[in-house]
Structure 1
Amino acid sequence: MRGGSVVDAQRRMTEILNGAVLVPLVAVAAELGLADLVADGPRTVAELAQRSGSLPDPLYRVLRGLAAAGIFQETASRTFAATELSDTLRSGADSVRALARLWGISERTSALGHLGDTVRTGTPAFESVTGTDWWSHLANHPEQAAVFNDAMGYQVRRVHDATVSGYDLSGVRRLVDVGGGRGYLAAALLRRYPELTAVIFDQRAVVGEAERVLDEAGVADRAELVGGDFFDAVPEGGDVYVLSRILHDWDDERAGLILRNIRKAMAPQGRVLVVDAALTEGNHPDDGKVMDIVMLALHPGRERTLAEFGALFATAGLHHADTLALHGAASIVVGVPV
């Protein structure tokens, strides 16, 4: 029986299916801030309900379900304490609370529940569920946009830290951060490399927010803010172009267009650094493969294998020259002119 019994396989599948219930429980705990409430010691359900604005009996049932998975611990009847897992949901810079709250956005969860529609039609399920795309939805729901931005901030900080320490930019004079947002990555790189100058390029409504970040980092005098659309053109003359968590938002046609615009603009010996998941081939566990399913349900984009990156680069007159694995699912995929 492929190395195990039918009963074992059925039990494992049941565990997988039951795990779908655990995610909303974690999201509720994150939304209510329960981990913060037990940070200084055990609390009764009555206390937790009062402090979180919830009802004792349903809250107890949620906490009991979480404790069964090691997230919180029932230390006495209807009294709960922290565990290592629940501590990850406490507020703070290294917390995954915002990520857990993101999993609690009902429209996002509904899109994943309608993944079969995407498999049949090729259209992101989010659009069929809500009648709009993810980005337009966030623009019309600022409270959800705030949750999303907090969650992405946690992930981006980890990726940025790994990027700064993972790739040597010694000798580079001009870097262009395409889709650079508020400038956090550029600011970190400018601090690390005193001879470097940088262009932060993004939509005009976004890139202006980078001024504060650069000022606080003390590197504003070596940075230029440029607004525009990377589907039209990107700033010229860069030695290195960075695309951090950008290409995975787009299908191959539009991702290729971004790369072609970079190829036209870059210096003759330039490089493009794509910071995205680089999916492993075969059956190996890979967080990027989970991320790719989220992309499938929500966006027209995708995570890619190295072979797919190579093919995408080729459409833009680039050659896949190197790959550096970073923290978690992220890698730096390096392209150079053919």
Structure 2
Amino acid sequence: MIALIEQHPQLISLGMVLILTIALLWLIQHLMIRYGKRILGLISRVDFWLRRHIARLPLMVGLQQKYPAMFGFITKRFARGHFSGLILTILTLLNIYILALFAGLVEDVVNADSIVTTDLFVSQHMSVLQDSSIVPAFVFITSLGSTPITCLIILLTAILCAVVRQPYILVGLLISTIGSTTFTFLSKMAFQRSRPIDILLMEHTYSFPSGHATISIALYGFLAYMAIRFSQSFIRQVRILSLAVLLCLFIGLSRIVLNEHYLSDVMGGFLVGTLWLTIAISMMEWLTARGKIDWRVSWSKGSVYMLWFSVVSIFIAIFVYANIYQFPLLG
């Protein structure tokens, strides 16, 4: 056992990362399924108690009397029950936080801080795995974020939305995918960071941020949002979220294992994808509040068949794309 670890330290480290990631996600999923509703109920009760008691404080009463317009505006921003209230406030604050994280990451990359040292360390260790038997598996995984596959998924999703008569969902899908792709392209052109030296699948674009990591969040995250909104089961919603997170992490990890990107490239891509996914979800919730989207549609047999046809078609397309285009690049 010790000899195996000494001969393949990078492979063992990667395996440990995969095992710990899956175990952590399973634990979080288990806790959410078991205690999620109780926690949400507790948060709701605490929120109600705080609102009631804060409103009675002499300071708040005085502010309401002295600045009624400003107090009314702030009160509406934290009101529950409609999109322009607490929901929009949370989504806006989340976007600001994500932008701040992305700006901090950009500063670290540009100034060659410790993150760059970590990037080089991880890249050097991953280059040792180039002849490993795990490479084909990660080639298939990374194909999920390729342009032809993502375009196919968008097309099939558009057809599915037409079948269930919810065309406005496409607005959010296009905002998330096109917005994130454009932002990523402009960022690549602005920073012009070179890719790792020992790259396996030759790419002709710049490195920061990772387009595959971006689209994994923007596209598959939005598909997960759609599935969660269409589902009426809390347990199923938690499992969908867990599966989507795992898929996105695996796509991002594939870019590192194949030495297509540095670690910070993937982190930046995740942040960009999350930013545009949040914007798209905000648009979806606004359209839902205006009655443009009905998430409680009844799925006919034809709709279900179309869904499964789409899933099978995507898997076949990934297999064909990986074998015809990706694997020859390894040679």
- Give your verdict on TM over 0.5: no
TM-score of the superposed pair, with normalisation by structure 2: 0.26
Structure with higher helix content: 2
TM-score of the superposed pair, with normalisation by structure 1: 0.26
Structure with the bigger RCO (C-alpha within 8 Å, sep 6+) is 2
